[in-house]
């Protein structure tokens, strides 16, 4: 049941922790009462009924991406793994020692296979990325402004603020996978790099929010007002 989430994105696991906090702060008498309070707020149903309804659906029914979607992307992108873009088996031994920090070609390819499997299992990470990507505007033109590794850190910061998941971490590969699933144009930076360019507008609400937040202590009144507006737009 740990993968179940409410439509808002709040996980069942996180909801249970919040219930404990409500009891501890004496805002609810018992854990059962606290869970009902949270459940009514989320779906206007008592906890037991809400759990039965969520369980009836698939674990990923409230998600923007499913295990099948991830498998499809991984199949379409044979070089994509949990860490980003990897390498095929067409290079000589010295290439893998130099660029992958592995002792041998065989060791790299073995780890690459494991990392592909790890990506397929990374449903929650891909979901967190999709939730962020909803606020990123696609562009048709090729632009080299927004990199996958930088954006994956932005996803983590966004989710620490949103606080719907117990863990905000996402991998570079999960972000690239989610971006491809959401229809973004993705361009690998070069044949060696695991990272990619994501063709999206730097004027996207969530990008502007991140930049204003970086200089929050020195913002002018107009900028503070804009920051507050952007927070609402991205669900904070």
Domain segments of the chain as ranges: 12-56, 67-198
Cα separations (Å) of 134 from 52, 65, 131, 155, 192? 28, 12, 5, 11, 29
CA dist 99 and 90 (Å) reads 14
Residue in 46, 68, 82, 66 with CA at minimum distance from that of residue 3: 66
Residues 6+ apart with CB under 8 A from 98: none
pLDDT of residue 62: 59
pLDDT of residue 1: 44
CA dist 22 and 235 (Å) reads 23
Residues 6+ apart with CB under 8 A from 29: 23
pLDDT of residue 31: 94
Per the CB < 8 A criterion, the answer to whether 58 and 111 are in contact is no
pLDDT tens, N- to C-terminus, the chain (236 residues):
456 788 787 888 889 999 999 999 999 999 999 999 999 998 888 898 888 777 765 444 557 898 889 999 999 999 999 999 999 999 999 999 899 888 899 999 999 999 999 999 999 999 999 999 999 999 988 889 999 999 999 999 999 998 878 889 999 999 999 999 999 999 999 999 999 999 999 999 999 999 998 888 888 999 999 999 999 888 88
Residues 6+ apart with CB under 8 A from 17: 166
pTM of the model: 0.73
């Amino acid at each position: 049941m740990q993968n179940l989430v409410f439509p808002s994105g709040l996980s069942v696991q996180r909801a249970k922790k919040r219930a404990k906090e409500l009891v501890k702060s004496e805002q609810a008498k018992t854990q059962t009462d606290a869970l009902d309070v949270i459940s009514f707020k989320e779906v206007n149903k008592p906890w037991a009924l809400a759990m039965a309804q969520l369980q009836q659906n698939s674990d990923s029914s409230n998600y923007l991406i499913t295990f099948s979607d991830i498998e499809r992307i991984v199949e379409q992108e044979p070089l994509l793994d949990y860490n980003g873009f990897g390498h095929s088996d067409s290079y000589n031994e010295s290439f893998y020692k130099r660029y992958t920090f592995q002792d041998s070609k065989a060791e790299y390819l073995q780890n690459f296979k494991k990392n592909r499997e790890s990506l397929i299992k990374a449903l929650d990470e891909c979901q967190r990325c999709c939730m962020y990507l909803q606020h990123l505007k696609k562009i048709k033109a090729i632009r080299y402004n927004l990199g996958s590794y930088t954006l994956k850190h932005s996803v983590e910061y966004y989710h620490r603020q949103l606080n719907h998941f117990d863990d905000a971490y996402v991998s570079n590969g999960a972000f690239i996978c989610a971006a491809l699933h959401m229809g973004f144009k993705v361009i690998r930076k070069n044949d060696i790099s695991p990272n990619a360019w994501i063709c999206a507008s730097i004027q996207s609400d969530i990008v502007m929010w991140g930049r204003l937040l970086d200089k929050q202590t020195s913002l002018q009144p107009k900028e503070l007002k804009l920051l507050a507006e952007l927070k609402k737009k991205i669900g904070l």
